[in-house]
Chain A
Amino acid sequence: MKKFLKTVSLILTLLFSLGVLAGCGSEPAKKSAIDQIKERGKLRVAVFSDKPPFGFVDANGKNQGYDVYLAKRLAKDLLGDENKVEFVLVEAASRIEVLEADKVDITLANFTVTPERKEKVDFANPYMKVALGIVSPEGAPITSVDQLKGKKLIVNKGTTAETYFTKNYPDVELLKYDQNTEAFQALKDGRGAALAHDNTLVFAWSRENKGYVTGITKLGELDAIAPAVKKGNTELRDWINTELTKLGEEKFFHKDFEETLKPAYGDSVNPEDVVVEGGAIK
């Protein structure tokens, strides 16, 4: 305790003197990014801790999920042991920061590639893809967008589903909700004919809620989900890309799907709608 307080007070004193030194901060000597990881003996990966089935912590406190499965494999191939990975738990809002501040080597947190994010981090090739999915009651399934004309469709505010339908199908009436739970409840109450959201989410939901089917599994533009590294860390990015190509040959992500996503999605989902092998979306 004494030592801790000492450290804290030392840090405080240091901080106050920082204002003066702020201008002189210099970059540490550049070492190969991969050598640094090997020297440390741990691959630091940012993952989600509450977004099943992609990244979550199970009842025994272990990290699990589609992203975690990949992270362990990367550690195994880079450092020879799948346990040589240190999971740094992140929130959606801090996924870029942890890379910029060098708190992790790779972010594997269901990170969708967008032009804005590309300015701040470097994305490797994708390992997963999302599109929109539409879930509807089994009794009155919606299997094509044309069936929605003149009917009400439930969406979440601020999601790709909302933008997509406002732009492309203005004659579909939208019912908008803030929260996922509200939106799904509205579908159960019969307030709309169907609900549109990320296909991965509606897959998982329709499996747990009997009487509903995902009539449309792939709609709109495909969004890619990819590992991200710190801007300028091309060495690590290139290594991940080679790794993804190699993993593609052994159909690694199909195995990943079987292990982590299938228990949540069931047989109703075709892995080809979600999984990306070899880093290239076909």
Chain B
Amino acid sequence: MQDLGINVIFEGSNLLRLLIGLWVTMRIAIVAIAISVVFGIAFGIVMTVKNTFVQIVARLYLEAVRIIPILVWLFLFYFGLTKVLHIHLGAEVVSVIVFSLWGIAEMGDIVRGAITSLPAHQRASGRALGLTDLQIYRYIIIPQAVRRLIPAAINLATRMIKTTSLVVLIGVVEVLKVGQQIIEVSILKTPSASFWVYACIFALYFIICYPISLWSKKLELKWQNQ
């Protein structure tokens, strides 16, 4: 028996293709996560504003992103926009937009939760010291809120990285799709190909996501000891 399945990964340029696929995954995820963090924090603060109109709009946006599956959003932006308005967006740009919209909504809600979970006396004490609203946010609310939202935010980031495998449905070839291409080509000759390719992809995802978890754990520990 010479058909060692692991050889499939080193055949031709397969390993390079997997790595390029991983780079595509990372590119989409990193840009989307960066946008989500920046605008998500802003959106979260906006959500705490006590204005019925602002709250309704924010709520609508959040629920729309939550209720409608990511896949549908991808199709809407990639195919729908072109069909209705003849706007052509590249598949990767669409992926970044959709994942950012999702990230901003979820991140916003996490931020809102963290801010509102702070006891009201924190704000009141700040005011008693004569701080302005901006100073209260800068020195009291944000530093405490950030600590509370780290675990949830990290969870969101890793979820976003993994969910990028959906973008294949609008034609972006990322790491999982490359894996399937390799498996299908080799399956008749090396039936164990799927095991090895998926094992390889598992390792790649692990290498990406594990450091993020480690880093968040470190961050939490560090802040606990302060």
- Residue numbers of A with Cβ under 8 A of B are 4-5, 7-8, 11-12, 15, 18, 21-22, 25, 27-28, 49-52, 56-61, 88-91, 93-94, 97-98, 100-103, 204-205, 208, 264
Contact = CB atoms under 8 A, between A and B. Distances in A.
B11 A59 contact: yes
B82 A101 contact: yes
Interface string B67-95: 00000000100111011111011000100
Given A49-B177, A56-B181, A56-B184, A100 B83 contact: yes
Given A22-B85, A91-B168, 7 more contacts: A5-B35, A25-B85, A49-B173, A49-B177, A58-B185, A60-B12, A204-B188
Contacts of B78: 101, 103
B118 interface: no
Interface string B89-125: 1000100110010000000000000000000000000
Contact of B189 (A27, A58, A208): A208
B171 A89 contact: yes
The 8 A-B residue pairs whose C-beta atoms are closest, nearest first, are A59-B12, A101-B79, A101-B82, A50-B184, A208-B188, A57-B181, A60-B12, A25-B85
Nearest to A96: B79
B58 to A, nearest CB: 14
A59 B82 contact: no
Nearest to A22: B84
Contacts of A204: 188
A5 B11 CA distance: 38
Contacts of B83: 100-101
A11 B185 contact: no
Interface string B178-194: 00111111001100000
Interface residues of B, number: 36
A88 B82 contact: no
B146 interface: no
Given A28-B86, A59-B185, A11 B12 contact: no
Interface string B16-44: 01000000000000010001000000000
Contacts of A88: 171
Given A89-B171, A204-B188, A11 B89 contact: yes
A50 B181 contact: yes
Contact of A94 (B97, B169, B181): B169
A209 to B, nearest CB: 9
A204 B188 CA distance: 9
A99 B172 CA distance: 17
A98 B12 contact: no
Contact of A59 (B13, B86, B89, B100): B13
A176 to B, nearest CB: 22
Contacts of B85: 18, 21-22, 25
28 contacts: A5-B35, A7-B93, A8-B93, A8-B96, A8-B100, A11-B97, A22-B85, A25-B85, A25-B86, A50-B183, A52-B184, A56-B181, A58-B12, A59-B12, A59-B14, A60-B12, A60-B13, A61-B17, A89-B171, A90-B171, A91-B168, A94-B79, A94-B170, A101-B78, A103-B171, A205-B188, A208-B188, A208-B189
Contacts of A94: 79, 169-171
Contacts of A59: 11-14, 182, 185
A198 B206 CA distance: 39
Contacts of B177: 49-50, 89
Contact of A61 (B13, B31, B93): B13
B79 A97 contact: yes
Contacts of B88: 102-103
B224 to A, nearest CB: 34
B133 to A, nearest CB: 27
A266 to B, nearest CB: 12
B138 to A, nearest CB: 25
Contacts of B183: 50
A58 B17 CA distance: 11
A22 B84 CA distance: 8
Interface string B192-208: 00000000000000000
B79 A25 contact: no
Contacts of A21: 85
